[in-house]
Amino acid sequence: MKNRMAMIAAVIMLAHGVAQAADPRYPDWPCIQAKVPEISLPAVWAGPPIDDVANAWKEDAEVVALVEQLASRRVPIEQARKAAADFLARSNDKVKFGKLVFAGLFDSLNAQRSAVLNGLERVMRKQRDAVEKIRTDTAALQAIQGAASPDQARIDELNNQVLWEARIFDDRRRVVAFVCEVPTIIDQRLFALSRTIQQEME
């Protein structure tokens, strides 16, 4: 019982910070890392303008397949860089295809980032709801425990319920800490592949 209550108390203390956003512009942002809503093109691309290719990369099946491969975080970055370099090495127009590949990567990885950012903020909202539920159920548990004739069955039920809610909260917190690193990983991947593409275009 003491261990259970200690865990619940620890989670409630951790939950105290859930309502406090690090950046008031993004009240649902749960990470200590600053939220950058999208990748800035000049931050990752010093090659020729890509305005003229727009969504044209989607019209070339080979480029689409390559972009999907390069954008997948399951593909090691060195393998991805080699695939990009090999593709451009055999291309008959390195500038054109380099721009197409990069435009596809830029679109795809920005979309990945947006999905991750939105997911993190959804989890933050769930965590706030979880905090309120834990507080409500803990208050109800304490009230029953303090009653003249405590209902032991109800005490056990609420105690198990609060413990379960606390575990879910803590599990989510651990996952969020890991996922908060993903936007930076995506940024680094795009920057590394951008450099490879630009080198092959020269």
Boundaries of every domain in the chain: 2-8+53-201
For 158-201, write each residue's pLDDT tens digit.
889 989 998 999 899 999 999 999 999 999 999 999 999 999 99
Quote the CA–CA distance of 179 and 135 in Å, as a whole number. 26
For 57-109, write each residue's pLDDT tens digit.
999 999 999 999 999 999 999 999 999 999 999 999 999 999 999 999 999 99
Give the global pTM: 0.83
Q: 190 near 103, Cβ under 8 Å?
A: no
